[in-house]
Chains A and B, each alone.
Chain A
Amino acid sequence: MMRELKVKLLLFLLLLSGTLLSKEKDSTRTRHFVALQFGLNQIKEENLHPKVGTGILTELSYGFEKQKRHLQRFQLSLGYSRLKTNLEEVSKSINLNMNISYSYNLRLIKSRKFNYYLGPEANLAYNACFFPNWDDSHLYWADYLSVVAKNIFSVNLKNKKEWVTDVSIPLFSVFSRPELYRLYKIDETDFEGIVHNLNSHITTAHLTNVFFVRLQTEYRFPVFHNKTQAFTFSFDWQRVRHDDGNPFYQLSYQLGIKFIL
């Protein structure tokens, strides 16, 4: 029932975007961006143990925005962090993540000072962890492909400055988690084995299986002729849990800088 509703909502959004797109007459403005962010990363992989690993997350992103009347956004982000629990002296655990998203956002509110966009986003996230102190033989992961409701709020400030905030919440996902009890001593560790693992046991998800809240807010200001820079803050909370396993949690806060070309 819930799944049907989600599919209907998605179809509605896609149809609405198509209708509105056909009415666009404005010229397209494309802006590429590169961003570098640093921040706190916390991971709790309960398939392994219930302690929180904490570390510094470094994330590099590239993307572009296309704006006519509506707003399209593509972003690729790669993140890396080393983590440790309170029981460890040295950060040995590794978290690698890759996130690719594309959204088509319809401008629903337009005023001199404020714009609001809403649209569907396709989000592919790979989140892999290796905990050599706790499990020297197995890879852990929480991967998903989600259809997301993306909300973008844009506030125009004085002197061509702008405050842009977006919030993403998943509607429907397919996901992959490792089995809770793996009856094999060592994972295949060649490239093929890792790719196979990260894409194994793919299951459709309810909101209770894959849920995340991703908030990004940025203060944009012009620097050179036609160039913009931004200070960014992002917050990301996610929970991924297979019905037959324990949850994976990730929480991160990051501050960074973005160059919009």
Chain B
Amino acid sequence: MITFRKYVVILMLALVISSCLKDEPFKDPYEGFQPVSRNDGWMISTPENEGMDRSLVDEAYQLVYKDTRFTMARSLLIIRNGKLVAEAYPHDKADMDRIANIQSMTKSYTSILTGIALKQGILDSVNQTFYSIYPEWFSSNPEKKDLTLKQALTMTTGIDFNNSEDTRILYQTKASSVEFVLSLPENYKPGVVFHYHDGAPHLVSAAIQKRYGKPFSEFADQHLFKPLGIGDWKWEAAHDGNTFGAFSLYLKPRDVAKFGQLLIQNGNWNGQSIVDSAWIAEATKPLVNSSVLGTPYGYFFWIYPAYQGYAADGHGGQKIMVVPQKNLVIVYTAWGYTSGEFFDNFNELADLVVRSCH
């Protein structure tokens, strides 16, 4: 006979066994990669029409839809010969219309905007010193008076900015964000050692903002986003109003792809020259060897000799890869806040897509 006490114990055990929370998949079921036509400036095509092996493209998408791989993937787009040939949104189809933080891919936008600012005479040259633009922020840091735009663009400022701690301070400081970056100690002589960080692009965006007289994000809207037909975007600024040159630009995936296509078209868009081709060539050639597996670096662009291409990279494993020889752009966006453990290996996707191009 079951006693009262046994009854309670059985009830408790039944409760424990029957009600555990269950995992669910990260992604929607895979339904192919055919893009849909929308009135957003993109011409639509197919892999076959653009000389690509469909089975390899499909393999890339199957990989990105695996639940255990590219776990926080948001989009994968492939553009060949200026046409969108494949796209999919593994997490949610609505991500197509959602702006999201492209994180450090933002740095490459700052690079191209620097080229535009030089073309328009807002900046004089890459050898210009920051001191010549905002001397007021050097009063406590006179030793950095010779720091140039070029040293910032190549991540060779020598400033000991540590992204894991200092980015948060840069983001949250109520004082001058530029002065904060300049106040950090100098570990190396400028122009010598590559040290990737969020401070250098911020010095550049602040320089353009100072000279332009309006927010850097407004400069981007006027001279880059509007010409590309990009209307939905957001770009965060520090508390002192300086737009972050290193991160926190929010865009839709198809609009991110337009940036890659602009680069492959040597800065021309609908017959208009937005940025000089010479600047793109300079910014995307190896100028310094990085500390990341020796991958060469240009002006806020990573260079990938194995693909004869270059890329904008962002936290979360996000990437805009441009392969001029194949007339190919690959855009991969992901949730931009995961630790490196979940970035996964973009090169596996890139290998498949590059190999698919005849």
Contacts and interface: CB of A to CB of B under 8 A. Distances in A.
Contacts of B99: 183
Interface string B1-21: 000100010001001100111
Nearest to A186: B171
Contact of B21 (A49, A184, A235, A249): A249
Report which residue of A43, A134, A215 has the largest number of chain B beta carbons within 10 angstroms of its beta carbon. Answer: A134
Contacts of A132: 339
Interface string A214-226: 0101000000000
Contacts of B248: 184-185
B68 interface: yes
Contacts of A42: 20-21
B132 interface: no
Interface string B141-174: 0000000000000000000000000011001100
A50 B19 contact: no
Interface in A180-225: 181, 183-186, 188-190, 215, 217
B226 interface: no
Contacts of B171: 185-186
B197 to A, nearest CB: 15
Nearest to A185: B248
A87 B71 contact: yes
Interface string A148-191: 00000001000000010000000000000000010111101110
B338 interface: yes
A24 interface: no
B342 A186 contact: no
**Interface bracket on B:** 35 or more
B189 interface: no
A190 B174 CA distance: 13
Given A42-B21, A52-B23, A185 B342 contact: no
A135 interface: yes
Contacts of A28: none
A188 B244 CA distance: 17
A137 interface: yes
A235 B342 CA distance: 33
B338 A136 contact: yes
A20 B171 CA distance: 58
Contact of A86 (B8, B16, B23, B339): B23
Interface in B158-209: 167-168, 171-172
Majority-rule SS of B interface residues: loop
Contacts, number: 83
Contact of A251 (B21, B71, B101): B21
Interface in B104-162: none
A136 B19 contact: no
Interface residues of A, number: 37
Interface in A9-60: 40, 42-44, 49-52
A235 B68 contact: no
Contacts of A190: 172
Contact of A183 (B25, B172, B250, B337): B250
A138 interface: yes
A49 B26 contact: yes
Interface string B21-43: 11111100000000000000000
Contacts of B21: 42-44, 52, 249, 251
Given A188-B172, A189-B168, A217-B8, A137 B26 contact: no
A62 interface: no
B98 A181 contact: yes
Contacts of B101: 183, 185
In the complex, the 9 A-B pairs of residues with the closest C-beta atoms, listed nearest first: A50-B24, A135-B337, A42-B21, A52-B21, A185-B248, A133-B339, A186-B171, A137-B337, A44-B21
12 contacts: A50-B25, A51-B24, A133-B339, A135-B338, A136-B338, A155-B4, A186-B168, A188-B172, A190-B172, A215-B15, A237-B19, A251-B21
Interface of A: 40, 42-44, 49-52, 85-88, 132-138, 155, 163, 181, 183-186, 188-190, 215, 217, 233, 235, 237, 249, 251, 253
